[in-house]
């Protein structure tokens, strides 16, 4: 049995990272010039890592499947990025950010990693401002903050509803600077098809040039997977159409363990599904819960319009159930509460699978505030409305516009309808403290790894983790491995290992093209998505999961005998790209169900119907399940479980309460 | 059938960069008004696949109007008839039953067609690589609040930084000029104190790269601003020209 070693440094929690940094082996500048690093993915984690490593002097290659690194889906993150700066003097600290993250993750993440994340969070904001990221500011010229779910301080930095875009463009600029200097070579419209391992170490990749269809071999002393999450296994999610698990899954099949695959984040505030044609779901930022109030009618099956329902006939169910955090409870809790109300028959809209997110009260509150500011002693209702709407527009304008575009309704006039949707995956490749997977030389950063968010991620923490990993963690931790590789010269890609890996990729692509079945890729993807959403989504059960595993196995067979891929193998062929990704999702979906079935408890985003308290809260089992489930791939449909015990030395494990 | 729109589509089909392209006509029916334009193309494509034809290749990714990847030229306008939206946020309620819709790729010699509606926009990446950054290595930064920035400047910088790099400005321009794109980045950084140190070299380097890529000149018609899905203002072009000329006059 492989033993997994998280390589957590000794010493006090607060000193581990400092001590690690002062004792990790260094690579001198002249040796760095001879060491090559491959980075897959150009989102926050990938771009920041590639830029930082190139600045240090390493030779870097970056691959992305999009036409430019700037398209990576980090760009779509809306609300903000957390940092324990305590600029608001409201009691924030490194410890409190650490504590909130562990508690928010329902006590299923690794203390040392989370503490390091909190420690470097402030430097991220400094770095981004220095790059010219235009964060929101107050009139005095200093940075503005707001609140996100699961916290009682204001530690979220933001750039309107486009924080991810601005952070990514900052990292992209840093990356392009290195491209211009010749330190990074960029491969756009290239998709990684496999990791090449030689003598057990990651030594390169096979990539497909999407335009020509040509397969390419690339050598690297280390390979970094910064490829994001796998939410698209559900077909409908807030992920981009191209977001996929392929790189991580190929790594998994080459020996990298996959950790906590069943931990999926269902985001509470998304625009509801409107029909079968739907290709993706759109998030409405969690920041909207700062000012918006969530409610459903008190009466079952109420068909009145929202504005016709009087105040005392509205059920502000989050404020009712969780008075201490109210509308700002963590995502898993808000999502389950919405599902509970809709399942009980109190949902709104034509599908009845939606709840209201209402800005009427906030508009009045802000309008009155503006009136005071401008010394208007008896403002009319119209004046209050118009000034209030102007404030809301400045804070959330682009989100409101987006809602109107998609639904055709004006959210300034009627409450928004929202429903939970798949958003983020806390699970991912298992990594140690150095962010290295169980394959030496193969790293996973950002959402692609499992390390920091436990069973539920807090809002505005994904951007923080992606940039922490890329800017401030990997530049140090990679030295621990590469310092021992300085005598390894660049290897020829004509070696047998590379040739074999390329042939396996080519064979698989040809097999896919030659199936010539009857159904398009989307047909299988939608069916997989429905199984996953119904049985491995917001509520899971032993019976449902067992049935799903069988259904998915049957669907895998059907896919490999009946998928129809048009076009040519040696030309731009989006259907062939999709087919490769869906084939991997079909295998991942099965592992997610296996993992969800193994975990006989409820925690965070993983809610097993059999394990809940009397009032419907998640019931954890810390005696049996305080571990990271790290799955090893053995062969098709056979995975072996390894357990990394989670030790809480600095936080007392407790039932999570936001009441 | 989910909806009741029946449409005629005239779509540009082109096998690759080397081959000449032409319009093909397709009929689609039962289109819901809630669909996005791209979801309507999805419907067409799945039908083409089932019929054994090659589906229409088009760029798209986030489908929420922010990644800048979608790039269709619809009825003679980049991203279609509505202002302030990308193609993925254009919904079929903007079209009438029975309408004929013409769909083309971006047309610019600096954006060669790769296939059908997919073009190569890597010229934009090279313009950024030439100078669209502040030269600050990771770890060099001071505390973020040590640098107060006037809110108006910060807001203007943010407005310029909202550019998604889709290329609609180039597609809208009769000269295929990339001035709006280039000026947005130059402005954003020139408006911030941390970006001013390199303002002159940045403007010169980015403009030189823009010219080298084969983009045209600006003749102030303002089509780029009108078609920009993110409302980037042509004031940025004026700001870029100021930066560029002052850099040129004061260059050593």
- For residue B143, the chain A residues in CB contact (below 8 A) are 126
Of A115, A20, A61, which is closest to residue A476 (Cα–Cα)?
A: A20
The two three-digit tokens of residue A256, written as one number: 């990298």
**A50, closest residue in chain B (CA to CA):** B138
Q: Dump pLDDT digits (tens) for A464-491.
A: 999 999 999 999 999 999 999 999 999 9
Of B226, B228, B225, which is closest to residue B85 (Cα–Cα)?
A: B228
Residue A1: per-residue pLDDT: 45
Shortest CA gap A596–chain B (Å)? 28
Residue in this structure with the two tokens 């088009």, named with its chain if needed: B58
CA distances (Å), origin A579, targets A207, A228, A428, A633: 16, 19, 21, 21
* Coil vs helix vs strand at A515: helix
Q: Find the CB nearest A137 among B68, B124, B151.
A: B151
Residue A338 CA neighbour count, 13 Å, CB half: 30
Predicted model pTM = 0.97
What part of A 470-499 touches B (C-beta under 8 Å)? 471-472, 475
Residue B132 to residue A173, Cβ atoms within 8 A? yes
- For residue A131, the chain B residues in CB contact (below 8 A) are 133-134, 136, 194
Of B104, B20, B121, B214, which is closest to residue A189 (Cα–Cα)?
A: B121
Stretch(es) of chain B classified as CATH 1.10.1060.10: 121-249
Best residue in B144, B159, B185, B196 for a mutation probing chain A (most A CBs within 10 Å): B144
Long-range contacts of A207-212 (CB under 8 A, 24+ apart): A207/A63, A208/A505, A208/A509, A210/A65, A210/A572, A210/A573, A210/A577, A211/A572, A211/B114, A211/B115, A212/A570, A212/A571
* Coil vs helix vs strand at A295: strand
Which portions of chain A are predicted below pLDDT 70?
A: 1-2
β-pairing, B113-115 vs B118-119, is antiparallel
A251/A192 Cα distance (integer angstroms): 10
Q: Dump pLDDT digits (tens) for B50-74.
A: 999 999 999 999 999 999 999 999 9
- For residue A566, the chain B residues in CB contact (below 8 A) are 48-49, 52-55
Fold of B121-249: Fumarate Reductase Iron-sulfur Protein; Chain B, domain 2 (1.10.1060)
- For residue A142, the chain B residues in CB contact (below 8 A) are 145, 148
Looking at domain B5-115, which of 1.20.1260.10, 3.20.20.140, 3.10.20.30, 3.50.50.60 is its CATH number?
A: 3.10.20.30
Q: Is the pLDDT of residue B171 over 80?
A: yes
Residue A171 and residue A481 in contact, taking contact as beta carbons nearer than 8 Å: no
E-strand stretches of A426-462: 428-429, 442-444
Q: Dump pLDDT digits (tens) for A541-565.
A: 999 999 999 999 999 999 999 999 9
The two three-digit tokens of residue A187, written as one number: 């491969």
Q: Which residues neighbour A575 within 8 Å (Cβ) at sequence distance 6 or greater?
A: A520, A521, A565, A566, A567, B49, B55
- Burial string for A361-374 (b: 16+ CB within 10 Å, else e) reads ebbebbbbebbeee
The two three-digit tokens of residue A575, written as one number: 């259907």
Residue A80: per-residue pLDDT: 93
What part of A 234-293 touches B (C-beta under 8 Å)? 238, 240-242, 274-280, 282-283
Average pLDDT over residues B69-97: 96
Residue B138 to residue A132, Cβ atoms within 8 A? no
B147/A143 Cα distance (integer angstroms): 10
* Coil vs helix vs strand at A399: helix
Query: DSSP labels for chain B?
Result: ----EEEEEEEEE-SSTTS--EEEEEEEEEE-TTSBHHHHHHHHHHHHHHTTPPPPP---SSSSS-S-----EETTEET-SSTT--GGG-BGGGS-TT-EEEEE----TTS-EEETTEE--HHHHHHHHHH-S----TT----GGGS---HHHHHHHHHHHT-----HHHHH-TT-B-HHHHHHHHHHHHTSHHHHTTHHHHHHHHHHHHHHTT-B------HHHHH-TT---THHHHHHHHHHHHHHHT--
B224/A317 Cα distance (integer angstroms): 47
CA distances (Å), origin A26, targets A56, A390, A490, B49, B230: 11, 53, 20, 54, 45
Residue A460 CA neighbour count, 13 Å, CB half: 34
Long-range contacts of A317-326 (CB under 8 A, 24+ apart): A317/A341, A318/A294, A319/A293, A321/A659, A322/A658, A322/A659, A323/A659, A324/A658, A324/A659, A325/A149, A325/A150, A325/A152, A325/A658
- Domain extents for chain A? 267-421, 496-626
* Structure ipTM: 0.98
- For residue B64, the chain A residues in CB contact (below 8 A) are 76, 238, 280, 282-283, 402
Residue B226: per-residue pLDDT: 97
Average pLDDT over residues B123-152: 97
What part of A 318-347 touches B (C-beta under 8 Å)? none
Chains A, B: CB contacts within 8 A come to 227
Rg of chain B, C-alpha, whole Å? 20
What part of B 69-98 touches A (C-beta under 8 Å)? 69, 84-85, 89, 91, 93
Q: What is the DSSP letter of A69?
A: G
β-pairing, A215-219 vs A201-209, is antiparallel
Average pLDDT over residues B86-99: 96
Residue B230 near chain A (CB below 8 Å): no
Fold of A267-421: Flavocytochrome C3; Chain A, domain 1 (3.90.700)
Residue B1 near chain A (CB below 8 Å): no
- For residue A241, the chain B residues in CB contact (below 8 A) are 60-63
Q: Find the CB nearest A130 among B34, B65, B140.
A: B140
Q: Is the pLDDT of residue B1 over 80?
A: no
Angle made by CA atoms A312, A313, A316, in degrees to the nearest 5: 85
A208/A378 Cα distance (integer angstroms): 67
Residue A526 near chain B (CB below 8 Å): no
* Coil vs helix vs strand at A115: helix
Residue A338 and residue A312 in contact, taking contact as beta carbons nearer than 8 Å: no
- For residue B29, the chain A residues in CB contact (below 8 A) are none
Residue A394: per-residue pLDDT: 84
Residue A159 to residue B195, Cβ atoms within 8 A? no
**B124, closest residue in chain A (CA to CA):** A68
Residue B144 near chain A (CB below 8 Å): yes
Q: What is the DSSP letter of A644?
A: E
Q: What is the largest CA-CA distance in chain A?
A: 82
B118/B111 Cα distance (integer angstroms): 9
The two three-digit tokens of residue A470, written as one number: 């890329």
Structure-derived torsion over alpha carbons of residues A414, A419, A423, A426, reported in degrees to the nearest 10 = 130
Tell me, yes or no, if the two domains A267-421 and A496-626 fold the same way: no
Residue in this structure with the two tokens 């983009």, named with its chain if needed: B215
Residue A71 to residue B63, Cβ atoms within 8 A? no
Q: Dump pLDDT digits (tens) for A375-398.
A: 999 999 999 999 999 999 988 888
Quick one: CA dihedral A396, A399, A404, A407, positive or negative?
Answer: negative
CA distances (Å), origin A467, targets A426, A475, B113: 16, 12, 34
Q: Which CATH architecture describes the domain A496-626? A: Up-down Bundle (1.20)
Q: Find the CB nearest A68 among B63, B118, B121.
A: B121
- For residue B35, the chain A residues in CB contact (below 8 A) are 275, 277
**Average pLDDT over chain B, rounded to whole?**
96
Q: Dump pLDDT digits (tens) for A170-193.
A: 999 999 999 999 999 999 999 999
Residue B252: per-residue pLDDT: 60
Shortest CA gap B22–chain A (Å)? 18
Residue A72 and residue A45 in contact, taking contact as beta carbons nearer than 8 Å: no
Stretch(es) of chain B classified as CATH 3.10.20.30: 5-115
Residue A228 and residue A428 in contact, taking contact as beta carbons nearer than 8 Å: no
Shortest CA gap B140–chain A (Å)? 7
Q: Is the pLDDT of residue B162 over 70?
A: yes
């Amino acid at each position: 049995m492989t033993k997994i070693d998280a390589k957590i440094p000794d010493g006090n929690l607060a000193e581990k990272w400092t001590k690690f940094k002062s004792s990790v082996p260094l690579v001198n500048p002249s040796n760095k010039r001879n060491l090559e690093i491959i980075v897959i993915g150009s989102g926050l984690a990938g771009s920041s890592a590639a830029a930082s490593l190139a600045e240090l002097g390493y030779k870097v290659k970056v691959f992305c499947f999009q036409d430019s690194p700037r398209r990576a889906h980090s760009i779509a993150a809306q609300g903000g990025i957390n940092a324990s700066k305590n600029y608001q003097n409201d009691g924030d600290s490194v410890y409190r950010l650490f504590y909130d993250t562990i508690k928010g993750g329902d006590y299923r993440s690794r203390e040392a990693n989370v503490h390091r994340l909190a420690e470097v969070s402030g430097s991220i904001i400094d770095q981004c401002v220095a790059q010219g990221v235009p964060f929101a500011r107050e009139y005095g010229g200093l940075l503005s903050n707001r609140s996100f779910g699961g916290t009682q301080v204001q530690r979220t930095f933001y750039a309107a509803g486009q924080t991810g875009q601005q952070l990514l463009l900052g990292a992209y600029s840093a990356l392009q600077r290195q491209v211009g200097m010749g330190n990074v070579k960029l491969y756009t419209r290239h998709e990684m098809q496999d990791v090449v391992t030689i003598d057990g170490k990651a030594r390169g990749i096979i990539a497909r040039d999407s335009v020509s269809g040509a397969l390419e071999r690339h050598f690297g002393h280390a390979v970094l997977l910064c490829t994001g999450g796998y939410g698209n296994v559900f077909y409908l999610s807030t992920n981009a159409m191209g977001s996929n698990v392929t790189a991580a899954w190929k790594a998994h099949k080459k020996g990298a363990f996959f950790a906590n695959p069943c931990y999926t984040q269902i985001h509470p505030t998304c625009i509801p599904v409107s029909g079968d044609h739907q290709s993706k779901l759109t998030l409405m930022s969690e920041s909207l819960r700062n000012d918006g109030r969530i409610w459903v009618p008190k009466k079952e099956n109420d068909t009145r319009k929202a504005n016709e329902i009087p105040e005392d006939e509205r059920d502000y169910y989050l404020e009712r159930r969780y008075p201490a955090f109210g509308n700002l409870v963590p995502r898993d809790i808000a999502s389950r509460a919405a599902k509970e109300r809709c399942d009980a028959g109190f949902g709104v809209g034509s599908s009845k699978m939606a709840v209201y997110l209402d800005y009427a009260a906030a508009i009045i509150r802000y309008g009155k505030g503006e009136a005071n500011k401008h010394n208007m002693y008896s403002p009319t209702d119209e004046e209050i409305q118009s000034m209030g709407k102007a404030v809301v527009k400045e804070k959330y304008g682009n989100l409101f516009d987006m809602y109107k575009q998609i639904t055709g309704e004006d959210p300034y006039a009627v409450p928004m309808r929202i429903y939970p949707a798949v958003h983020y995956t806390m699970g991912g490749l298992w990594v140690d403290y150095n962010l290295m997977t169980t394959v030496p030389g193969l790293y996973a950063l950002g959402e692609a790894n499992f390390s920091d968010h436990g069973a539920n991620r807090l809002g505005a923490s994904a951007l923080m983790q992606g940039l922490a990993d890329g800017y401030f963690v990997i530049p140090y931790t990679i030295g621990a491995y590469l310092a021992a590789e300085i005598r390894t010269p660049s290897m020829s890609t004509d070696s047998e290992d590379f040739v074999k890996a390329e042939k396996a990729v080519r064979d698989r692509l040809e097999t896919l093209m030659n199936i010539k079945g009857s159904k398009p890729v989307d047909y299988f993807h939608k069916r997989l998505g429905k199984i996953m959403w119904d049985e491995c989504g917001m509520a899971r059960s032993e019976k449902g999961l067992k049935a799903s595993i069988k259904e998915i196995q049957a669907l895998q067979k059907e896919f490999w005998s009946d998928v129809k891929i048009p076009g040519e193998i040696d030309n731009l062929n989006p259907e062939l790209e999709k087919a490769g990704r869906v084939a991997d999702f079909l295998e991942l979906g099965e592992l997610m169900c296996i993992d969800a079935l193994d975990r006989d408890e409820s925690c965070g985003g993983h809610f097993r119907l059999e394990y809940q308290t009397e009032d419907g809260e998640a019931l954890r089992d810390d005696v049996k399940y305080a571990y990271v489930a790290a799955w090893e791939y053995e062969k098709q449909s056979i995975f072996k479980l390894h357990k990394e015990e989670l030790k809480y030395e600095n936080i007392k494990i407790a039932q999570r309460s936001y009441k | 059938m989910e909806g009741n729109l029946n449409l005629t589509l005239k779509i540009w089909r082109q096998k690759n960069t080397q081959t000449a392209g032409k319009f093909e006509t397709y009929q689609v029916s039962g289109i819901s008004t809630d669909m996005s334009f791209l979801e309507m193309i999805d419907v067409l494509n799945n039908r083409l696949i089932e019929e054994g034809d090659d589906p229409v290749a088009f760029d798209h990714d986030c489908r929420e109007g922010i990644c800048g990847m979608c790039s269709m030229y619809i009825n003679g306008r980049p991203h279609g008839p509505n202002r302030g939206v990308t193609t993925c946020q254009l919904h079929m309620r903007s079209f009438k039953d029975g309408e004929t819709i013409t769909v083309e790729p971006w047309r610019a010699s600096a954006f060669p067609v790769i296939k059908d509606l997919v073009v190569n926009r890597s010229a934009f990446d090279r313009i950024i690589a030439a100078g669209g950054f502040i030269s600050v290595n990771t770890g060099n930064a001071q505390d973020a609040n040590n640098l107060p920035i006037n809110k108006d400047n910060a807001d203007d910088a943010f407005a310029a930084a909202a550019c998604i790099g889709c290329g609609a400005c180039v597609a809208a321009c009769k000269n295929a000029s990339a001035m709006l794109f280039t000026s947005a980045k130059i402005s954003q950084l020139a408006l911030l104190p941390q970006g001013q140190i390199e303002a002159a070299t940045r403007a010169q380097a980015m403009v030189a790269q823009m010219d080298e890529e084969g983009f045209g000149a600006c003749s102030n018609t303002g089509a780029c601003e009108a078609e920009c899905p993110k409302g980037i203002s042509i004031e940025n072009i004026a700001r870029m020209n100021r930066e560029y000329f002052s850099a040129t006059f004061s260059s050593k």
